[in-house]
Homo-oligomer: A and B are copies of this chain.
Amino acid sequence: MTDTPPPRTWQAIRAEVLARIRHRRWPPGTMIPNEADLALEFGCARATVNRALRDLAESGVLDRRRKAGTRVAEAPVRRAVLSIPLIRDEVAALGQPYGYALLSRALESPPAPVHASLALPPDTDALHIRALHLAGGTPFALEDRWINPAAAPGALEADMTTLSANEWLVRHAPFTEGRLSFSAIAADAATAAQLGCAPGTALFRLDRSTLDGTRPVTVAQISYRPGYRLDMVI
């Protein structure tokens, strides 16, 4: 019986707590012992228990409130983490050569919804960029982007014929927050022509907007080729 002493790392404690939840020793809704007691039981410092429980709370397995204590989440609103890669990397991950083609680039008056979401002053133009991302020579995604020139200094002068606008922005325009919205749309005639599919084909669409503080920097609409899937791991 060479019983190796149980490792008292925070990961080990997290695993142990998770096991007790899974095995229904602590069913959903249960209050679990407080940190001090658990530290005593596991023979470690309270900070170590805290680290483990905090991690589980972040992933939605536990609910924690000061003074109230820690309980196993009733309906585990699981949180999935999505890494949003550059399309270049996404294509590379498929093992295909990446290509980029600038379709159009103009400083022009945006449609009302775009004007509003960029919070532009009245009668102000924005930089409109349309581009095609290619995987192994075939269309992968169509990007339709509007950039607020005031929020992205240098964008008007930047050469975007070889580098995608997204990559340029990532490197040159600071941004703090953003919103993503996924949906399914039917391909309109123009999009279908660019992506080489029939009009009406169901396409996966990503609408993305990014802010620098409170100032909108850019909004983009990305239509992926038919069959595209976005994968996440819980």
Contacts and interface: CB of A to CB of B under 8 A. Distances in A.
Interface of A: 18, 21-24, 28, 60, 75-86, 89, 167, 170-171, 174, 176-186, 200-205, 210, 212, 224, 226-234
B181 A201 contact: no
B84 A182 contact: no
A69 B181 CA distance: 35
Nearest to A211: B234
A205 B202 CA distance: 11
B229 A203 contact: no
A100 to B, nearest CB: 15
Contacts of A60: 83
A23 B210 CA distance: 16
Given A28-B171, A75-B171, 15 more contacts: A77-B84, A77-B85, A77-B86, A80-B82, A80-B84, A81-B81, A82-B82, A178-B233, A183-B230, A184-B184, A184-B224, A184-B226, A186-B202, A201-B202, A202-B202
A71 B75 CA distance: 38
A223 B185 CA distance: 14
Contacts of A210: 234
Contact of A232 (B76, B82, B86, B167): B82
A7 B114 CA distance: 39
A213 to B, nearest CB: 9
CB-based closest 10 A-B pairs: A184-B184, A202-B202, A22-B174, A178-B234, A184-B204, A180-B232, A184-B202, A182-B230, A186-B202, A183-B229
18 contacts: A22-B176, A24-B174, A79-B81, A80-B81, A177-B233, A178-B234, A179-B231, A179-B232, A180-B232, A180-B233, A180-B234, A181-B232, A182-B229, A183-B204, A184-B184, A184-B204, A184-B228, A185-B202
A102 to B, nearest CB: 20
Nearest to A73: B170
